[in-house]
Amino acid sequence: MMSVNQDTGKIYCSAVTIQIGGNRNRDPNPGALEFRIDLNNRVASAESGGRQKVQPGEVEFAPEFGVKPRRQFVDENQPAKFKISCEGLPRPDVSWTRFGKILKNDSKIKTYEEDGYNILEIQDVTVQDKGMYTCTLTNKLGTLEASAELSVFEKPKSSSKKPVGPSVVAPLTDSTTVEGEKRFVLDCSFEDATDCSITWFKDGEEIKPGREFRARFDGRVASLTISRVIEEDVGKYECVASGPTGEEAKTNCYLKVEVSNEKREPPVFVRELRDMEVDNGDKVELVVEVKGSEPIDVFWIHNNREVTPQDTECQLIRDGNIHKLVIPQVCQQDVGEYVCEAYSDYGDTDTFCRLNVRGRNDMKTVISIEVTRD
């Protein structure tokens, strides 16, 4: 296409890729190319449209979630993060709300993009922050919302009553469990312990609550939860309630762990994904084989979007240790990076590849040049 500015004598030309035929590709023309030449300054430039703007021939579509926000469980005074991925054309605006109020960046709230995801981060969480958070995607073709709940584990509140020395009501008892058991709980109870702090010890060393151990105390019952029992958890456990004036009450027990003879192995891919280049319309099978101690959970990701059994454009198949992602009729929107992730109680791993699709439709390119006259 060519146009002439009568005042300056400049000629503007653009090159547009024209596709003959059609398929379900949402982006048949990644962008028009504009080429400019200024004979006075002897400068030439080319500009290509980006994904931020809709280019001629592109098909606009309403916002969609690739990954929706998920429920978060956070201890009081710890940070919480919600993350999503999305797509749409034009590119959707992403906003976060709570109780209908838009959340903006400040000392407590941070919203940003990282590794293809939109993140909402809440600093120093309190019980007042718990509840539903909503992510809204908006472009001119529509609006889409998804919500997730933030649950906050509240720290026990101190009482204004005069402190009284604690005493043990129900002591810890010796226990036996098996390796691999999840959320195993040791608990005991105290009286006159409302203002007390609780400290747990294993073999004389203080236990720091974290991913492996979670401690709770409601003013009466103290509990220690082991997220997943391992052989090293065997030993003597002690719970100490300390009053504000120095009084203490203690109880202890011995935990025995029965170890399975089965060898514990993290998941490993013995057959990994490989880059592929296929013709438009071909059937594609992405195949992996994973080994390790069961159970193993396998997930597929395409361009930062989780592939689920509900997706109609592909199929997820498992046959023993072999997992397949099958695309019956591939097209341009299937191009990109595919990741297969494997998780178990003993570790995690992943493998990835890139899929390229060669187009079968005839393509015709019209090229013109912009000339600037003196």
What is the C-alpha separation between 264 and 344, in angstroms, rounded? 10
Would you say residue 162 lies in a domain? Answer: no
Of 153, 185, 202, which one is at a domain's C-terminal end? 153
Residues 218-223 have a mean pLDDT of: 92
Would you say residue 98 lies in a domain? Answer: yes
Bridge partner residues of 122 (DSSP): 80, 109
Look-up of token digits 């539903």: 132
User: Tens digits of per-residue pLDDT, 302-351?
Assistant: 999 999 989 888 999 999 999 999 999 999 999 999 999 999 878 899 99
Give me the CATH number covering residue 125: 2.60.40.10
Sheet containing strand 305-307, strands side by side: 276-279, 347-358, 336-344, 297-302, 305-307
For residues 32 and 70, membership in a common domain is answered with no
Would you say residue 205 lies in a domain? Answer: yes
For residues 120 and 98, membership in a common domain is answered with yes
Domains identified in the chain, total number: 4
Give residue 244's pLDDT band: very low, low, confident or very high (50, 70, 90).
confident
For residues 46 and 66, membership in a common domain is answered with no
Length of the chain: 374
Q: Give the residue numbers spanning the domain of 235.
A: 167-258
For residues 174 and 234, membership in a common domain is answered with yes
> Worst-scoring range by mean pLDDT, 14-28, 225-239, 260-274?
14-28
What is the C-alpha separation between 133 and 66, in angstroms, rounded? 18
Sheet containing strand 213-217, strands side by side: 167-170, 182-191, 221-228, 213-217
- Which has the higher per-residue pLDDT, 201 or 33? 201
Would you say residue 158 lies in a domain? Answer: no
Would you say residue 364 lies in a domain? Answer: no
